[in-house]
Amino acid sequence: MALGIEADDPANPRTTGTTISQWVAGPGGGMGTVQGLPIAKPPYSRLSAFDMNTGERIWWIPIGDAPEAVRDHPALQGVDLSRMGSGANSIQMVAGDLLYATEGSSGPAVLNAFDKRTGMPVGEVELPSPGQYGMMTYMHEGRQHVVVQVGRPGRLVALRLPN
């Protein structure tokens, strides 16, 4: 963490970089609801792997937990709603045998690692605020590092992978 920079509020992350386009969501659209619950069956977002030679989907997994409005709904108290896809935009990167993915700017502040061949979870690391826009990897002194853009402009988190 850089000295002289105040900590982000994880509940209200600021974006990184500069917005170079402006858009406005039009009326309508979105998912229909009944009593505040979506009428569409989850997952609401997922991560998919395809065979680039055949176009066949090899595996897919939901990315993220249930949206807050669903998770906190009184009719669903006591129901396991984990890994049903949050609907948030995830950022991903493949390096070696691993696929790294965040849970989007509105999801939990975590970086997930999956086996790229099977989609099985390998690990999860907390971030100071949600990952946004992109990530990169590099080697230094024989050790792999992953850098994730998080929070406000100029905020990067570098993680060193274990041996």
According to DSSP, the β-strands at 110-115 and 121-126 are antiparallel
More confident residue, 39 or 53: 53
Tens digit of pLDDT for each residue in 124-137?
999 988 887 789 99
Q: Is the pLDDT of residue 98 over 80?
A: yes
Q: What is the number of other CB atoms lying within 10 angstroms of the CB of residue 95?
A: 17
| CA gap 29, 112 in Å, rounded | 30
Residue 28: its pLDDT value, please? 58
Query: What domains can be seen in the chain, in order of their start residue?
Result: 40-160 (2.40.128.630)
- pLDDT class for 113, splitting at 50, 70, 90? very high
Q: What is the average pLDDT value for the chain, to the nearest integer?
A: 81
